[in-house]
């Protein structure tokens, strides 16, 4: 038997042990088989088991991305609702201001209308008085004309009498008494006609003044009436404009209220979807935790078989030289998860050195995982996990995506043995090694084990 065959024969039991371990891992499959996009697993195929873990992790990553998208939508929608509410407040204020202005204008229009109506009544009365006065003036004018004609006839007669010689009058008269009587009569008529003529002249002068006063008053009344009418027309136009503005604002207010209601309904729907999606992520996470717990159980089952020491019996060495860029514990790095009171908690120690710096096992143990972390959202980090006891494991993350010779799942390693090289795989800002220590499923400060 060759040396190679000898080594193979010695390793065969180990291979069968790991095959049984894979069968035990298959027990976990029903836990996650209800998740979408998870392929069935063959109990004898580690690749299928890892693929199923990767599919579950991919689903969780997608759901987390959807959850983040919902949060972003909620934030945007909240901003829209705030803007809409502010617009509603502004519209309501504008409506109140316009309503107050309309009330004031209506009061002014009422006052102007009342004054206008009073002026119209006064103008009507004045017109009636003017018409009566005009009628009286016309009658007086006719009477004066008649009197003037009578006066003119009398003057002509008096003139003719004045031109008739007294001898002729005596000859033609029946007696001297008649002559004297005619002369006296004409003299009396002359005095009366003179007085009447003077009165008529005075009346004409008075009528002329009255007509001028009436004309002036009428012109003033007409001008004022035109001003009032123009003002009323302007106020009516303003009222119409304000009414139109109020109608538009009311319509806008209804639209904004409807928009706000739609936004609130969308926000409620997003909140419901967010809660449901968070519950689904939690359920998927619980399935992942159960799988991880089962793997811990499988690791415990091989205790005492000379593969993993039953008691941790040594001290750790630094896995790589370099500078510590981030310690274990609370951190300000936003991508780290919440742990306890820490919003962001770094669960290991980051060591920085030139890229491809060799990484060594911190202590002796058995490699239980080597490959891309199936629980990382793409891009995934290359991860090597070493079990040092049934209770204690160490993680080495972000290394080059290729194992050195002799580094595979199930291989025993000794402290200081080369297990990989430093790199920047996964979510990393540069070449470094993320070194973590887990005791009974809880991350501990690696410095406590050096």
- Is 111 inside a domain boundary? yes
Does 260 share its domain with 313?
no
Q: Are 294 and 29 in contact (CB under 8 A)?
A: no
Q: What is the spatial distance between Cα 373 and Cα 206, in angstroms, rounded to a whole number?
A: 122
340 dihedral zone (left: phi>0; alpha: psi -120 to 50; beta): left
Same domain, 223 and 347: no
Assigned domain for 57 exists: no
What domain range includes position 403? 309-450
Radius of gyration (Cα) for the chain, nearest Å?
A: 60
Write down the pLDDT at residue 149: 76
Q: What is the DSSP string of 368-420?
A: EEEEE-TTSPSSPPEEEEEESSSSEEEEEEEE-SSPPTT-STT-EE-TT-EEE
Q: Are residues 420 and 323 in the same domain?
A: yes
Mean pLDDT of the 69-98 span = 80
pLDDT in tens, 27-39: 333 333 333 333 3
CATH number of domain containing 163: 1.10.287
Residue 351: give its domain's CATH number: 2.70.70.10
Q: Are 442 and 365 in contact, with CB atoms under 8 Å apart?
A: no
In a domain, 132, yes or no: yes
Tens of pLDDT, residues 385-425: 999 988 899 999 999 999 999 999 999 999 999 999 999 99
Residue 80 reports pLDDT greater than 80: yes
Do 111 and 256 lie in a common domain? yes
136 and 232 fall within a common domain: yes
Higher pLDDT, 297 or 106: 106
In a domain, 78, yes or no: no
- 394 within domain boundaries: yes
In which band, very low, low, confident or very high, does the pLDDT at 42 lie, cut at 50, 70 and 90?
A: very low
Report how many domains make up the chain.
2
13: in domain: no
> Do residues 247 and 98 share a domain?
yes
Mean pLDDT, residues 288-299: 59
217 inside domain? yes
pLDDT of residue 432: 96
Do 343 and 384 meet the contact criterion of CB atoms below 8 Å apart? no
- SS3 track for 271-321: HHHHHHHHHHHHHHHHHHHHHHHHHHHHHHHCECCCCECCCCCCCCCCCCC
CA 56 to the chain's CA centroid: 38
> CA 159, CA 188: separation in Å to the nearest integer?
14
C-beta separation of 123 from 221 below 8 A: yes
Last residue of a domain, one of 267, 298, 318: 267
Domain final position from 267, 292, 322: 267
* Domain shared by 174 and 239, yes or no: yes
Identify which of 313, 366, 284 has the alpha carbon closest to the alpha carbon of residue 21.
366
Write down the pTM of the prediction. Answer: 0.36
124 and 263 together in one domain: yes
Clarify whether residues 225 and 317 are in a common domain: no
pLDDT value, residue 35: 33
What one-character DSSP code corresponds to residue 362? S
Residues 151 and 202 grouped into a single domain: yes
- How confident is the model at residue 3, as a pLDDT? 36
Residues 228, 368, single domain; the answer is: no
- pLDDT of 176 higher than 80: no
Residue after which a domain boundary falls, among 202, 235, 267? 267
Question: For residue 65, is it within any domain?
Answer: no
- Looking at the structure, tell me whether residues 150 and 238 fall in a common domain: yes
């Amino acid at each position: 038997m060759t040396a190679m065959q000898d080594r193979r024969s010695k390793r065969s039991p180990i291979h069968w042990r790991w095959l049984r371990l894979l069968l035990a891992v298959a027990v976990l499959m029903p836990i996650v088989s209800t998740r979408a996009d998870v392929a069935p697993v063959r109990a004898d195929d580690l690749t299928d088991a890892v693929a199923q873990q990767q599919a579950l992790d991919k689903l969780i990553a997608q759901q987390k991305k959807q959850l983040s998208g919902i949060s972003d939508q909620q934030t945007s929608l909240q901003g829209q609702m705030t803007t809409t509410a502010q617009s509603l407040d502004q519209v309501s204020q504008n409506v109140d201001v316009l309503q107050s202005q309309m009330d004031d204008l209506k009061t002014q229009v009422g006052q102007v209308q009342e004054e206008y109506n009073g002026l119209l009544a006064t103008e009507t009365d004045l017109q009636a008085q003017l018409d009566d006065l005009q009628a009286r003036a016309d009658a007086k004018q006719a009477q004066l004309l008649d009197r003037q004609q009578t006066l003119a006839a009398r003057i002509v007669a008096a003139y003719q009498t004045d031109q008739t010689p007294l001898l002729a009058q005596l000859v033609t008269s029946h007696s001297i008494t008649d002559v004297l009587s005619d002369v006296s009569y004409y003299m009396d008529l002359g005095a009366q006609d003179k007085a009447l003529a003077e009165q008529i002249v005075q009346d004409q002068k008075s009528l002329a003044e009255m007509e001028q006063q009436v004309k002036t008053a009428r012109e003033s009344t007409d001008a004022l009436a035109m001003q009032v009418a123009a003002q009323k027309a302007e106020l009516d136009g303003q009222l119409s404009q304000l009414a139109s503005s109020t109608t538009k604002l009311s319509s806008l207010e209804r639209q904004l209220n409807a928009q706000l209601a739609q936004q609130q309904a969308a926000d409620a729907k997003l909140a419901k979807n967010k809660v449901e999606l968070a519950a689904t992520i939690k359920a998927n996470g619980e399935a992942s935790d159960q799988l991880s717990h089962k793997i811990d159980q499988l690791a415990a089952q091989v205790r005492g078989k000379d593969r993993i020491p039953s008691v941790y019996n040594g001290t750790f060495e630094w896995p790589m030289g370099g500078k510590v860029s981030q310690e274990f514990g609370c951190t300000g790095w936003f991508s780290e998860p919440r742990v306890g009171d820490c919003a962001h908690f770094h669960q290991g120690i980051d060591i920085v050195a030139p890229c491809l710096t060799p990484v060594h096992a911190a202590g002796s143990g058995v490699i239980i995982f080597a490959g891309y972390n199936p629980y990382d959202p793409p891009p995934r980090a290359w991860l090597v996990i070493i079990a040092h006891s049934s209770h204690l494991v160490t993680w080495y993350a972000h290394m080059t995506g290729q194992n050195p010779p002799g580094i595979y799942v199930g291989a025993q390693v000794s402290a200081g043995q080369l297990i990989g090289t430093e790199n920047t795989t996964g979510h990393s800002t540069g070449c470094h090694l993320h070194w973590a220590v887990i005791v009974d499923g809880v991350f501990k400060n690696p410095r406590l084990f050096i």
